[in-house]
């Protein structure tokens, strides 16, 4: 596709439920990032994939959060036992090779609301 796509665009769930958020990066981009943006704040880094492996997961807030990228393309962010504080916009970005000088291209985000 032309850009990074994310599905669903909106997700409403109840406290304690499990959710999966999907990211489809720009074709050919080996680096994929997840960020979380809470209301009124800038995006915060969660995890970075280089190919299939998580190269840096230092931003994941706790063990309820997990992400995979099994074939080095599409990635899924998984949140177990959701809490109201998980409500935020989850952003995915990709870049060509993961160099710190590269532009990261962002998707439209998934707006998660935990009731």
Interface ranges with other proteins (CB under 8 A): 3-4, 31, 33, 35, 40-45, 48, 56, 58-59, 91, 93, 95, 98-109
Q: Shortest distance, CB of residue 49 to other proteins, whole angstroms?
A: 11
Nearer to other proteins, 9 or 80 (CB): 9
34 DSSP β-pair partners: 47, 92
Q: Shortest distance, CB of residue 45 to other proteins, whole angstroms?
A: 4
Nearer to other proteins, 20 or 56 (CB): 56
Q: Shortest distance, CB of residue 88 to other proteins, whole angstroms?
A: 13
DSSP state of 1: -
Of 95, 109, 89, 5, whose CA–CA distance to 50 is shortest? 95
Phi and psi for 42 in degrees, rounded to 5?
-80, 165
Please, what's the largest Cα pairwise distance for the chain? 40
């Amino acid at each position: 596709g032309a850009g990074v796509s994310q599905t669903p665009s909106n997700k409403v769930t109840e406290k304690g439920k499990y959710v999966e958020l999907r990211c489809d990066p720009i074709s050919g981009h080996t680096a994929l990032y997840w960020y979380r943006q809470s209301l009124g704040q800038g995006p915060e880094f969660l995890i970075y994939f280089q190919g299939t492996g998580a190269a840096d997961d230092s931003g994941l807030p706790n063990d309820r959060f997990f992400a995979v990228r099994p074939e080095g393309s599409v990635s899924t962010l998984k949140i177990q036992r959701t809490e109201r504080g998980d409500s935020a916009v989850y952003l995915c970005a990709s870049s060509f090779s993961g160099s710190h000088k590269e532009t990261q291209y962002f998707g439209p985000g998934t707006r998660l609301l935990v009731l």
